[in-house]
Amino acid sequence: MPGRSRPIHLAVALALLMAVAMESAVQAQPKQAPETRQQITLSFAPIVRQSVASVVNVYGARVEKQPRNPFMDDPFFRRFFGDRGFGVPQERVQRSLGSGVVVDASGLVVTNNHVIEGMSEVKVAFADKREVEATILLRDPRTDLAVLKLKGVKDLAAIELADSDKVEIGDLVLAIGNPFGVGQTVTQGIVSALARTQIGVGDAQSFIQTDAAINPGNSGGALVDMQGRVVGINTAIFSRSGGSIGIGFAIPSAMVRVVVESARAGATTVRRPWFGARLQALTNDVADGLGLDRPAGSVVASVVEKGPAAEAGLRRSDVILAIDGLGVDDPEAFGYRFATRPLNGTAGLTVLRGGKRLTLPVKLIPAPETRPRDAVVLAGRSPLTGLTVMNLSPAVSEELSIDAATEGVAVSEIEEGSVAARVGFQKGDIIQALNGERMATSRDIENATKERKRAWEVTISRAGQTVTSVFPG
């Protein structure tokens, strides 16, 4: 019997060697992106490897001087404290942290505007710890997107922008970014919903909702599909605690592409099609009266004379149901769809009028600059000190998202900490009158605020409402 044990031991050893060889062969095979339900259970690592080099951390900073201490001129305090905190204005560095995505090998990076808003210095850090300085090519507050240009780099790993119109609810997605500054992080989830509007971020949006964990610091990062392509830029979360509760929102890649192409063309602002009409949401009562089974669509409230909508034949009270065959449930959804149409072509509007459906072709042209902006920074002793105001035109109205039919002078910027900021002026306000006198140009306001008044009566239009307030001189 002992003589027979040797072949058995050899057989066992041979079997073990074969098993080890088979395992080594499996491990040696390159991983592929999962394509079937069975493969999904393996790993997302191939997709991450493909995408992670294109997702960066974005750091913004600016130096702020603290206000002069009122005690600094008192000899008593200077005797005991000297200049420490009293004689020399203190400086404070304000920082921001977010993520970004390399979308062009030449060094173009997309991030959120709120990540770099107000920042004078911007740096980008790659997953391999390299840090590169960046300049801000373009900011677009309307979409909360910005485009950066990296200095001294080339041949970067750029990520492809997918067609977000082909994304479906239930699609698997990965969110890549730098949450809470802990370092590059990948989370997995699905597309929970599409065409989410009225989120409060931008005014030409239709967000992709996902349950992939998104936290502060993820802003500007990539939401990628199972082919490693960007379907959206992560930008906001719904949270009561400040952390992820599984409701995050991403800007669709269709809108990202519009902003990136404007930056590539050398534009400092995003050029979008101008519609030339003001829309309102369709209510249940109106929908019932029109014979619609649900309140999905936008009612035309007013049409700008000689604008694209007017030339297309659109009328007040028309109901817009779709654009190029894609349904639009509300004015925000229409604004997103229209803004992503390519310039210099036409778009087909499906319109309900008098119980009949019509298709109206509207030209896709940029808003015209019908008169010089003539931007003026207001000084002097008035509640408007710190405002930058400019003349209205269709182009200015489009950029500031205000009604082009409103008369007055637009507020385009507000100096932080200024009198106007403390009083409560907002970007996009339209100043219509000062002390009862109509204001037609930016110079009218400049001249009016040079005078000293005991009181200032200011009439503005904000979000379609006219308000008159009185402030002390």
- What residues have CB less than 8 Å from 344, skipping those under 6 apart? 364, 365
Cα diameter, the chain: 118
Report the C-alpha gap between 34 and 166 in whole angstroms.
19
The answer to whether 114 is a known catalytic residue is: yes
For residue 430 the two structure tokens come to: 């339209």
The answer to the question of whether 144 is labelled as a binding residue is yes
Q: Is 107 annotated as a binding residue?
A: no
- Residue 215 marked as a ligand binder: no
3-class secondary structure per residue, the chain: CHHHHHHHHHHHHHHHHHHHHHHHHHHHCCCCCCCCHHHHCCCCHHHHHHHHHHEEEEEEEEEEECCCCHHHHCHHHHHHHCCCCCCCCCEEEEEEEEEEEEEECCCEEEEEHHHHCCCCEEEEECCCCCEEEEEEEEEECCCCEEEEEECCCCCCCCCCECCHHHCCCCCEEEEEECHHHCCCEEEEEEEEEEEECCCCCCCCCCEEEECCCCCCCCCCCEEECCCCCEEEEEEEECCCCCCCCCCEEEEEHHHHHHHHHHHHCCCCCCCCECCCEEEEECCHHHHHHCCCCCCCCEEEEEECCCCHHHHCCCCCCCEEEEECCEECCCHHHHHHHHHCCCCCCEEEEEEEECCEEEEEEEECCECCCCCCCCCEECCCCCCCCCEEEEECCHHHHHHHCCCCCCCCEEEEEECCCCHHHHHCCCCCCEEEEECCEECCCHHHHHHHCCCCCCEEEEEEEECCEEEEEEEEC
- Alpha-carbon Rg for the chain in angstroms: 29
Which of 51, 54, 96, 114 is catalytic? The answer is: 114
- How far apart CA 95 and CA 18 sit, in angstroms, is 58
Annotated catalytic residue: which of 54, 206, 219, 397?
A: 219
Residue with tokens 């977000």: 164
**317 carries an active-site annotation:** no
Q: How many residues would you count in the chain?
A: 473
Which of these is catalytic: 51, 99, 140, 144? 144
Q: Does 144 qualify as catalytic in the annotation? A: yes
CB atoms within 10 A of CB 416: 9
- The binding site for substrate consists of 114, 144, 217-219
Known binding residues: 114, 144, 217-219
Question: Catalytic amino acids?
Answer: 114, 144, 219
